Amino acid sequence: MPENRPTPGRRAARIATGISHALVLAGSAVLIAVVSMDALQSMSLEGNAGVQRLQTALCCLFLADIVLEIFRKPWGWKNVVTAAGGIVLCLPYTAILGHTGIHLPYACSFGLWLLPLVRAVTVLAQMFRSLRIGPATSMLGAYLALVALVLYFGALMFYILEYGINPEVHSLRSAIYWGVMALTTTGSQISEMTTGGQVLAIVMSATGLVLLPVFTIYISAAVQSHRKN
């Protein structure tokens, strides 16, 4: 029987997809690093004009990668929903609002600005799932990466919101300690003094209630699999 080899068109599509995924992964890491450094230097979550232009460019890169995935994969409802969710996360809302002259409240505009950053965090978590180290290990790596990134950005936002107002938040390390306590829902001796910090505490606790049971499920499944083997 003739060997089932990919056609030149499929081979080219795979190469293009691989290059696109590599660019998205690098762009995600760059976006997270640049946003972090800019936020710590300016003590603001909005970002300067250069950071906003970079985010707009990376949003376009993320959207191009999603379009390639749409044409590469079959049009099942799961793939369509995944692609639609990715598009919602990657649209450059800040640039669109700036060109249209629409002004939203700070909370709304900041939330829209934050969406591509959520996409970057998701991409980095998905990277661990794609590693060829076994499905269980890759899933655990994706889970730990997601928890670490959620903790880091939650602590970063809390630090910027509370620094200078809350005497208990004197460094990023203290904010990370608060983030660990909030994510594990154990509570902390650091009390939130701003409205943004109080809202963030609720979000972090709710996220912890969703993420932490996943680790318990993973451990239980791993133990059962080990006993069967």
Confidence tier at 9 by pLDDT (50, 70, 90) = low
pLDDT confidence of residue 124? 66
> What pLDDT does residue 21 have?
77
Angle in degrees, 0-180, between the axes of helices 135-162 and 195-228, rounded to the nearest 10: 170
- Per-residue pLDDT tens for 161-218? 899 899 999 888 999 999 999 998 887 889 899 888 888 898 889 888 888 777 777 6
pLDDT in tens, 45-73: 666 778 888 888 888 888 888 888 777 77
Q: Which residue has the higher pLDDT, 54 or 224?
A: 54
Query: What mean pLDDT comes out for the span 96-110?
Result: 75
Q: Is the pLDDT of residue 129 over 70?
A: no
Long-range pairs of 45-53 with CB within 8 A, sequence gap ≥ 24: 45/110, 45/113, 45/114, 45/157, 45/160, 46/110, 46/113, 47/113, 52/94, 52/95, 52/113
